[in-house]
Structure 1
Amino acid sequence: MKLYALSVLYKTGDNKATRLISAHELSSFGYFQKSSVKEFMNFSSKIIVERTLASSRSSVKEQEYICHVYVNSNNVGAVLIADHEYPQRVAHTLLNKVIEEFEKKIDKKYWSISKEDEIRLPEVELLLTKYQNPKEADAMTKINADLDETKIILHNTIEAVLQRGEKIDDLVEKSEGLSLQSKTFYKTARKTNSCCVIL
């Protein structure tokens, strides 16, 4: 998974976009390729924001890259260029964060009068670096990964108990945590639905 570019643009009423801030991670390209790749990514970002309606999101495939874009209701747009493996939800979380930082720290009067890449906002570079590893950067992704591990561990634990020769029926009968009513319900359900297994 790889992120290549993160840009913030402002879209005027005539649907022209100005790139105000951009950050790139082009170490995987050769020295002589970097400037051309950067130009193409900046060009693509501008075109995509100009074609995206306010208050909408999209992801656009371009060769081996995906351009994730979000233009908010203030016509501030953010574009993230990533490879195909990068999780779409995490990409859009990053776009939200970068626009939020931009609107919080850059006065609105500069949005329409600034030239290409004239505004400095170090957080854009930092976010591009931080989000290179989506599991570390995004709390929800990290939580989901932890939950997946928990499910696997839990599943293995139940299988291990059953492999020792114990039966679910015996475990239910011995359980002090289940009320008499729950145990009766379980036994009735087992007899009625002998084709089904209740855990």
Structure 2
Amino acid sequence: MKIYGLTILHTPLSQPSMPLVTMMDLSSFSFYQHPSISEFMSFFGRMLAERTPQGGRESVQEGSYTAHVYNWGGTEQVVGVLIADHKYPVCPAFLLLTKALDDFMAKVLTSSYAMPSAISFPEVQTYVQKYQDPCQADAIMHVQQELNKMKIVLHKTTESVLEHGERINDLVDRLNVLSTQTKVFYRTTKEQNSCCVLM
């Protein structure tokens, strides 16, 4: 089980999302893959943050990753995205997101909910390191009752999140925010994964 990244984003209505704080742990990948993987995960997280409804919680699988997204809702317009492997359990992922967003809201945002110009939230690194072991989520299990009342939508594929007729391959190809190297990396891993079928 592995957490690859945790990002907290600001998602103003009708505007692109903006990462506020992020922490990636790409130590399980080759050093030379880090830039492409980091760029793709950032793109994937931003896309899902912008498409998750306010107050919504969703888990979306893409390739060998699962992104867990929690849109805080309200006037803050803050979304947490946790990207992990498929083995990382859903419940601890959302407990971690809830804890991270609670702490972020309490420590970073003012009572007026104005987004500060400079954000310091070093706790994001602690969360990614500490919760690599999902059993550590026991420390925040008191949130479990609230979480059980919420609806978590599990999408089997990224395509189920995309708008009618949209495809992830088309988005990757036409977006200017992704480098050519990342686009090639995405297509190569997609082709490599398509040859293997588990029975």
Q: TM-score, normalised by structure 1?
A: 0.65
State the structure with more CA Rg.
Answer: 1
CA distance in 2, matches of 1:29, 1:120: 27
Equivalent residues of 1:7, 1:20 under 8 A apart? yes
CA distance in 1, matches of 2:121, 2:140: 25
Q: Which whole-Å deviations, capped at 9, do the CAs of 1:102-129 have from their partners, x for residues lacking one?
A: 1011123226xx4xxx522111110111
CA distance in 2, matches of 1:91, 1:120: 23
Q: Per-residue deviation at 1:139? A: 3.6
Aligned residues: 136
Q: Determine helix, strand or coil for the equivalent of 2:31.
A: coil
Equivalent residues of 2:58, 2:68 under 8 A apart? yes
- Which among 84, 87, 103 is matched to residue 86 of structure 2? 84
> Is 1:37 matched with 2:42?
no
Equivalent residues of 1:80, 1:95 under 8 A apart? yes
Q: Per-residue deviation at 1:137? A: 3.6
**Letter of the structure 1 residue corresponding to residue 115 of structure 2:** Y
Q: Per-residue deviation at 1:15? A: 4.8
Any residues of structure 2 matched to 1:4-153 within 5 Å, and which? 4-74=4-74, 75-107=77-109, 108-110=113-115, 114=117, 119-139=119-139
Equivalent residues of 2:99, 2:140 under 8 A apart? no
Instruction: Provide closer, same or farther for how the CA distance between residues 59 and 104 of structure 1 changes in structure 2, counting only shifts above 3 A.
Output: same
Q: Determine helix, strand or coil for the equivalent of 1:21.
A: strand
Q: Which whole-Å deviations, capped at 9, do the CAs of 1:49-83 have from their partners, x for residues lacking one?
A: 00111000000001011000000123210000001
**Letter of the structure 2 residue corresponding to residue 134 of structure 1:** P
Q: Per-residue deviation at 1:136? A: 2.9
Q: Which whole-Å deviations, capped at 9, do the CAs of 1:6-46 have from their partners, x for residues lacking one?
A: 00001102152111100010101111111111111111110
CA distance in 2, matches of 1:123, 1:140: 15
**Letter of the structure 2 residue corresponding to residue 37 of structure 1:** I
CA distance in 1, matches of 2:17, 2:66: 20
Identify which of structures 1 and 2 has the higher relative contact order when contacts are C-alpha pairs closer than 8 Å and 6+ apart.
2
Q: Percent identity of the aligned residues?
A: 40
Q: Per-residue deviation at 1:140? A: 7.0
Question: Hey, which bits of structure 1, 4+ residues long, moved more than 4 A?
Answer: none
Q: Determine helix, strand or coil for the equivalent of 1:7.
A: strand
More displaced 10-residue stretch of structure 1: 129-138 or 48-57:
129-138
| CA-based RMSD | 1.6
CA distance in 2, matches of 1:87, 1:38: 22
**Letter of the structure 2 residue corresponding to residue 80 of structure 1:** L
Instruction: Provide closer, same or farther for how the CA distance between residues 15 and 51 of structure 1 changes in structure 2, counting only shifts above 3 A.
Output: farther
CA distance in 2, matches of 1:32, 1:110: 35
**Letter of the structure 1 residue corresponding to residue 126 of structure 2:** L
